[in-house]
Amino acid sequence: MNAIGSPISRVDGPAKVTGAATYAADFAIANLAHAALVQASVPAGRIAAIDTRAAEAAPGVLAVMTHENTRRLPWHPRDPRPGVDPKSGERLHPLEDDLVRYDGQPVAMVVATSEVEARAAAELVRVSYAPTAARTRFDPAYGHEPSAATAKAGRPGDTARGDPEDAFTRSEVTVDVPFVQPREQHVAMEPHATIAAWDDEGGLTLYDKSQWVDNVRTEIGLAFGIDEKRIRVISPFVGGAFGSGLRTWPHVAMAALAAERVGRPVRLALTRRALFTNTGYRPRTESRIRLGADRDGTLSSIVHEAIGQTSTYEEYAETTLTPTRQLYACENVATHYRLVDMNVNTPSPMRGPGAATGQLFLETAMDELAQALGMDPLDLRLKNLAERDPDSGKPWSSKALRACYEQAAERFGWADRPRDDAARTVGHERIGSGMASAFYPAHRSKARASVTLYANGGAMVQAATSDMGPGTYTALSQVAADALGLPLEQVRVEIGDTALPQAPAHGGSITMATLGNAVANACSRLREDLGVENGGDLVAALGGRDSHRAEGSSSPGKEAQDYESAAFGAIFAEVRVDPELGTVRVARLVGGYDVGRVVNPKLARSQCIGGMVQGIGMALTEEALFDERLGRVMNANLAEYLAPVCADVGALEAFFVESDDRIFNPLGVKGLAEIALCGVAAAIVNAVHDATGLRLHRVPVTPERIVMAQAARGG
């Protein structure tokens, strides 16, 4: 049986469920000290004074570090900047000056012999501030165009094709839809943590929660002004990240500074509250989208404006408007993107960055247009399906979105959904159905991997990539097993270490299209080295040697010049709403996906249902509540930041239509993690409207918002 395409259980599953898997904070390092942060309590200003005397006298304290006594690092610039970093502005340099840029910014750090002692002493540090005016309200009036560097990176301020304004004016049917998506946090199971250990020769080892260990090594090398070859970053397991582990956050450099100061290894583990202000988040984004169509449903105009938040010290921007330009066939399209600088920490990629937000806006607007046309929402999307990329004019390397629509609709029972009031009422609840499209661009990058064959018939795959949960260990094992003709149990995978062949970020749904092909290439090279064709005996070809190692690589080809590549999907949702209480229950979700060749159906389904659950949170529960007076996230904890729990989740069905994109890459895969979230929230919001008749132009759709909207409607 071929390993690729088989629903194999996670090869790293036993290690995770038995506690053998070692996460960043778990490494047992001799003589380990612990650090704790002191965070700013004002959103803007300067530090007037810091009193550290009580903290320094506290039990177990080794050092109290502030901007007054911590050495300045060189922080050499990085050119070009990595794709995960903002293209304008400068990353935060912790403990370098007295300037406060946002509430929660690290302003001091205590190092002690235990974590309890460090945190207790941190509470004793007294900081007084000279506050200055802060921008803590999201005000679109302060929106500005992205910088030239940001625009060049695919986030332009303004784009247009055709004459969308004139076409909108001439359209037979139009809708004008505002929408608000609030700040969302990653809230992964594993908090961010770093252990830093210097050796006697000036080398640095970092055990860090990271989706890109090579990036951490480069960033810290530039920060400290040392050759990155003297730095090793280790991150074999990541307990969820959703994009929060792509950047190198300030606490990593702070851990290294602390270890340098006290002359022993230091662990800095962020508290759950600190995660909200010391790692990134999905930024608040407001939108206005105008759609125009002919009476038969043909789109004649799309004009989409979006305004996102960023920090005052970095310009973070998203591809929020990319789906608007690429998802539907329309000759007249304009997009306008603006940013609002605020005294907050810098946002970051979060699952489906930009695309999930943009499709929430676009797909709810499409639902409103279908209603205005008196047309089935599915028929409207089929009517405007883009057979080529409407923005570039290039053909798709593969596209099975029509099959996604048709098969998902059939499985959901879309044509037979209840339409009359009696059929849609069950006790106190109203049944509603909604749907949405899903789209995420497919990319791949450069990567290297090695494969070592041993005389005992085993093989080892090595690469510096990470695994934050999608099953990288398992999928790479499957690729190597098939390429080498070995049983899966004879293949081991070692990842998450800068000592291994270089790999790109584990994000953006690029890992299998990138690293999977590098592993396959390494296996091919090993066969070539040994002179063994497929089906031949590799072990015999070793000729008595203990092992043989081959290295392979993968990089994008000219396909990106000739084709556009993307994953596609269709999501159908059924909700049950109690109009009196305003409660919404997601009874079921059905998603059909075109993601290219599926390496492991079991892991792929797991990714999709995980995205569906995250979409339930986006639609119904998740919102970082921001107090504009204090410039502070008020629900920075897992008790009040309401991520979905088991009781919030109904029946979830995810399936994959036939697809195999060998134009995009030799393995035929297209990426899966991001597409699993895209469209889910919109389908749920559309279903809520179907159940209640209410158009709620912001998420989350909470009970109080439903009750208030019904009261405003007069019933």
Residues 496, 473: contact at Cβ < 8 Å? no
Q: Is 529 helix (H, G, I), strand (E, B) or coil?
A: helix
What pLDDT was estimated at residue 714? 84
Tokens encoding 95? 């403990």
**From CA 389, how far away is CA 391, in angstroms rounded?**
6
Residues 78, 228: contact at Cβ < 8 Å? no
Q: Which CATH number fits domain 24-133+189-240+245-278: 3.40.50.2300, 3.40.50.850, 3.90.1170.50, 3.40.190.10?
A: 3.90.1170.50
Q: In the chain, which segments carry CATH 3.30.365.10?
A: 444-555
Tokens encoding 624? 């970082």
Beta strands 299-311; 333-342: pairing state: parallel
**From CA 218, how far away is CA 213, in angstroms rounded?**
9
What pLDDT was estimated at residue 158? 98
pLDDT band at 534 (very low <50, low <70, confident <90, very high): confident
Rounded mean pLDDT, 105-129: 98
What pLDDT was estimated at residue 715? 65
Residue 653 bridge partners (DSSP): 590
What pLDDT was estimated at residue 164? 98
Closest among 277, 369, 365, 360 to 318, alpha carbons compared: 360
What pLDDT was estimated at residue 302? 98
**From CA 202, how far away is CA 214, in angstroms rounded?**
19
Please write the tens of the pLDDT for every residue from 256-304. Answer: 999 999 999 999 999 999 999 999 999 999 999 999 999 999 999 999 9
* 535, pLDDT greater than 90: no
Q: What angle do CA 413, 418, 419 make, to 5 degrees?
A: 125
Instruction: Output the DSSP codes for 159-218.
Output: EEES-HHHHHHH-SEEEEEEEEE--B----SSPPEEEEEE-TTS-EEEEE--S-HHHHHH
Rounded mean pLDDT, 389-398: 98
What pLDDT was estimated at residue 227? 98
Please write the tens of the pLDDT for every residue from 600-640. Answer: 999 999 999 999 999 999 999 999 999 999 999 999 999 99
What pLDDT was estimated at residue 386? 98
Query: Which residue reads 């791949």 in tokens?
Result: 444
Distances (CA, A) of 68 to 96, 132, 248, 300: 8, 21, 24, 61
Tokens encoding 109? 């750090």
Tokens encoding 170? 């001439």
**From CA 563, how far away is CA 662, in angstroms rounded?**
12
What pLDDT was estimated at residue 245? 98
Residues 674, 508: contact at Cβ < 8 Å? yes
Please write the tens of the pLDDT for every residue from 664-706. Answer: 999 999 999 999 999 999 999 999 999 999 999 999 999 999 9
Give the residue numbers annotated as catalytic, written as ranges.
674
Query: Which residue reads 């608000």 in tokens?
Result: 180
Average model confidence (pLDDT) for the chain? 97
Distances (CA, A) of 697 to 110, 305, 462, 625, 709: 45, 15, 48, 17, 11
Could you please state the CATH topology (level 3) that the domain comprising 444-555 is classified under: Aldehyde Oxidoreductase; domain 4 (3.30.365)
Tokens encoding 699? 């998420």
Helix (H) or strand (E) holding 15: helix 13-18
Closest among 312, 353, 286, 254 to 103, alpha carbons compared: 312
Please write the tens of the pLDDT for every residue from 53-105. Answer: 999 999 999 999 999 999 999 999 999 999 999 999 999 999 999 999 999 99
Residues 696, 688: contact at Cβ < 8 Å? yes
What pLDDT was estimated at residue 401? 98
What pLDDT was estimated at residue 216? 98
Distances (CA, A) of 32 to 29, 255, 339, 636: 6, 12, 43, 28
Q: Is 294 helix (H, G, I), strand (E, B) or coil?
A: coil
* 43, pLDDT greater than 90: yes
What pLDDT was estimated at residue 639? 95
Query: Which residue reads 């008790």 in tokens?
Result: 639
Q: Is the pTM higher than 0.85? A: yes
Distances (CA, A) of 710 to 156, 501, 564, 586, 664: 39, 58, 44, 20, 49
Helix (H) or strand (E) holding 314: strand 314-315
What pLDDT was estimated at residue 101? 98
SS3 content of the chain, % helix, strand, coil (to 5): 30, 25, 45
Q: In the chain, which segments carry CATH 3.90.1170.50?
A: 24-133+189-240+245-278
- Strand stretches in 495-640, DSSP E: 547-554, 566-578, 583-594, 626-627, 632-633
Please write the tens of the pLDDT for every residue from 231-259. Answer: 999 999 999 999 999 999 999 999 999 99
Q: What percent of the chain has pLDDT over 70?
A: 100
pLDDT band at 1 (very low <50, low <70, confident <90, very high): low
Please write the tens of the pLDDT for every residue from 446-488. Answer: 999 999 999 999 999 999 999 999 999 999 999 999 999 999 9
Residues 205, 468: contact at Cβ < 8 Å? no
What pLDDT was estimated at residue 423? 87
Residues 672, 567: contact at Cβ < 8 Å? yes
